[in-house]
Amino acid sequence: MFAAQTVDTLREKMGAINLSKSVLLFFFVVLSAVYRSSSATGVEANQTVSLVINASETSTKYIPKTLFGVFFEEINHAGAGGLWAELVNNRGFEAGGPNTPSNIAPWSVIGNESSLIISTERSSRFDRNKIALRMDVLCNHEGSNTCPPGGVGIYNPGFWGMNIEQGKTYKLVLYARSLGPINVSVSLTGSTGSTLATANIVESDVSNWTKIELTLQAKGTDANSKLQLTTTRKGVVWFDQVSLMPTDTYKGHGFRKDLFEMVKNLKPGFIRFPGGCFVEGEWLRNAFRWKETVGPWEERPGHFGDVWHYWTDDGLGHFEFLQLAEDLEAEPIWVFNNGVSHNDEVDTSSIQPFVQEALDGIEFARGDAKSKWGSVRAAMGHPEPFDLKYVAVGNEDCGKKYYLGNYLEFYSAIQREYPDIKLISNCDGSSRPLDHPAHIYDYHIYSSANNVFAAAQKFDRASRTGPKAFVSEYAVHGSDAGTGSLLAALAEAGFLIGLEKNCDAVEMASYAPLFVNTNDRTWNPDAIVFDSSQMYGTPSYWMQHFFKESNGATLLNATLQSNPSNSLIASAISWKDTDNKNHLKIKVVNFGSSSVALQLSIQGLEVNSLQSFGSKKIELTSADVMDENSFQVPNKVVPVSSELDDVGEEMDVVLSPHSFTSIDLLINSNNVGLVGPASYVDKSSYYKDIKMY
């Protein structure tokens, strides 16, 4: 009808030309085809490919609610100086080691040797961290050796500057001791020397270690501030465990709010923690040991992470990781040391203390508030157990001399005490069956863009019985990735589509690493880049947003036809939002350098059930495949949304070269696949961080 009316209009406007209606109809069809092979921005398609979606209930798979999650490792100062909001670096003066004299960096001295002497002593009130700072003040507020204006003392620059913001409040906690009265000025000082906040500590009797707490309110903003402790009173003052925390952390749980929200917006199904190689250590003496990270923060000894080469006070400890999982509404996956580091191992005949340590760690998470370790958790403010159902025995240790023997000891003991817990083996079971019992096996991939994209088929032939795969670390690495390129994100998107299509063989997947402080780029690329005051997502971060609705959804059959270059990969899911509305989401990666005219055919739906209103096309692409985001241009490569006007069971969509496209369709029907239970996802905040929306 529309075509005939259009042809009649053409004839009227071309009245002087003697052309038949059939000839004009031919021209109209040709012009329509050309138009349908072009995008709204005028991109001409170089090839045509068909994608057939079967939305009926007869060809579906249930996607695990845990399929896509996140992996947190203490690397790149992800926690210390990052997600954990503590502003003081080396707050207990322990980073220089247990012996004295020791290095107190990054603490620095205000004044010279004629006015004060700074040293360290093993005189702390805390048994597990004995180092305290001693400040011998030689000058006075009057007399022959007068202190300089502003006094003398020490300052801490935090982690490459403290971000102090006008109007916000900061809680200072420190321990002090002196043989006489003290008058100490506490100030937050900006990079130009301006005072942003100040308070005085005046105590007449601190002959014993005294805990001092006060709140500072900032009257200015500076992302490169420092904390100063100064005095003009002659005498000796000891300081220990100096902490400065913003009062607006997420729910008061200590997490830097902007970074937490970046992770929360991914809607992860799980969080794996605390590593990674951080769990192993180069040597066992420097491995993460959970018992040293619980209880009051002042009593935690901290440790040197010798794999990634920096000290952590372990304020972000076992309890905080479990709390983080709960706050993210994600399943916690605890990775513990199995007696193996990069350079030394515990013989299986001596592994039982490590096994007991793991059992105690599980009891801390799940035990009754009256149990030995459950009571420690309860005393920390969480009487109810955490929902810990997954543990991983080590990290990348398969093949090491004692791994298998140690693993079997952990497996037997944990299954005996906690039969519902799923154990994750480090050994890859994707190509051949494991030679030991496990519920899940671990698989890591870091490679070039081409290799990662090709790995989308990795699990096509994996066993559908027995343990499932946990792809706990994946990323494009090397020159293809830069510090976070579009090319890397596209390859990873193709890989994730492959995992999604193999969701009956893959249980979970997470990108690595999650965070990088731009001042400590030990590993590139990363999902979220930050400094003391700002952050942005790399293309790989935004790529993961396309999979937010997949957890607990239903996988539909999606078949690409006429795909000669194998540069395309696609999947389709059905899901329900919090309003119980049905959605159909089609994801396609065009990994090639040519645009593609995608002819969509959606089968198995009720007639006219697709709605134009609320349906969108979302695209991740850029002018150059190596484009990256930055602090200067944080949104250079982010998803861009456009409305779909002509929605139907048959549609044509142009895929830009090197692009990741999502077609999100709202369905006015209940007859679409079998949407899994508890798969509702709140889409209201899906793109709230993308300002162009």
For residues 358 and 391, the answer to whether their CB atoms sit within 8 Å is: yes
For residues 685 and 265, the answer to whether their CB atoms sit within 8 Å is: yes
Round to whole Å and give the CA distance between 210 and 106: 24
Which residues touch 561 (CB under 8 Å, ≥6 apart)? 49, 50, 51, 52
Please measure the distance between the N-terminal and C-terminal CA atoms of the chain and give it in whole angstroms.
36
The residue assigned the tokens 């349906």 is 615
The residue assigned the tokens 């923060």 is 297
For residues 231 and 153, the answer to whether their CB atoms sit within 8 Å is: yes
Round to whole Å and give the CA distance between 562 and 598: 10
Question: And the tokens for 395?
Answer: 């990290």
DSSP string, 303-325: EEETTTTEEE--SS-HHHHHHHH
Round to whole Å and give the CA distance between 343 and 397: 11
Q: Considering only CA atoms, which of 315, 292, 381, 333 is closest in space to residue 82? A: 315
Which residues touch 277 (CB under 8 Å, ≥6 apart)? 73, 75, 307, 308, 342, 395, 396
Residue 588: burial class (beta carbons within 10 Å; 0-12, 13-18, 19+):
buried
Centre a 10 Å sphere on the Cβ of residue 498 and count the other Cβ atoms it contains: 22
Residue 505: burial class (beta carbons within 10 Å; 0-12, 13-18, 19+):
buried
Q: Which of 396, 473, 507, 549 is catalytic?
A: 396
DSSP string, 539-560: HHHHHHHTTTTTTT-EEEEEEE
Phi-psi region of 93 (alpha: psi -120 to 50; beta: other; left: phi over 0): left
Question: And the tokens for 417?
Answer: 């005490």
Q: Is 396 labeled as catalytic in the residue annotation?
A: yes
Residue 483: burial class (beta carbons within 10 Å; 0-12, 13-18, 19+):
middle
Centre a 10 Å sphere on the Cβ of residue 307 and count the other Cβ atoms it contains: 23
Active site residues: 396
